[in-house]
Every structure is written in C-alpha cells, then in structure tokens.
C-alpha cells in the first residue's frame, strides 16, 4: 500500500491518479488530500476524515465519478451535470 498527497482539481471535481479521475465532494475542491493507494482501491482522506473509498481502475478512459459527490452542484445548476451523466456511476 502506498500513500500520496494529491490535489482535488476543479475539473470534474476530482483527484487524478495514474490518468484516472476519482471524484470528491465539492467542499474538497482545491484541497490537498491524502490518498492510501492499494492494488484494488484508493482511499481519500482530508486530515483524519475519510472522504471516500474508490475502486481503483486500470482500464482506459474509465473515471470513478460518484453521482452523490455532485448533488450540491446539481441543485444550483443542473444543465452541465446532465450533459456528463453517462460518465457517472449511479
């Protein structure tokens, strides 16, 4: 298991590891997060708070975008989110 510090970017509201995007809740955009990375999962932390456990991907063009991470944005501006809805895991 490895440990990295990764940045939660504005684009897709996600962190990036090995060319894959892993979503985070909106309040963590712009934060430096700790990631515990194993063969099959990526666990994201803000300080001691566990944010989310993502399944790790190794396939081309698959991102782990969790719909619940985008609900705050959806209530404010639903249009752009629905344009990307085919990329989300419900």
The pLDDT assigned to 53 comes to 93
Model confidence band, residue 22 (pLDDT cutoffs 50, 70, 90):
confident
Percent of the chain with pLDDT strictly greater than 90 = 20
Q: Is the pTM of this model over 0.85?
A: no
CB 24 within 8 A of CB 33: yes
- CA-based R_g, the chain, Å: 13
Q: How far apart are alpha carbons 76 and 57 in whole angstroms? A: 30
Domain segments of the chain: what residues?
2-89
The pLDDT assigned to 45 comes to 93
Predicted confidence (pLDDT) at residue 77 exceeds the cutoff of 80: no
The pLDDT assigned to 43 comes to 93
């Amino acid at each position: 298991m490895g440990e990295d510090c990764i940045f939660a970017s504005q684009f897709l509201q996600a962190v990036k590891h090995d060319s894959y995007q892993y979503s985070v809740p909106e309040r963590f955009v712009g934060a430096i997060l700790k990631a515990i990375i194993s063969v099959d999962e990526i666990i994201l932390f803000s300080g001691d708070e566990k944010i989310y456990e993502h399944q790790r991907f190794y396939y081309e063009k698959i991102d782990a975008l969790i719909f619940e991470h985008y609900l705050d944005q959806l209530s404010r501006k639903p249009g752009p989110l629905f344009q990307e809805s085919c990329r989300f895991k419900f």
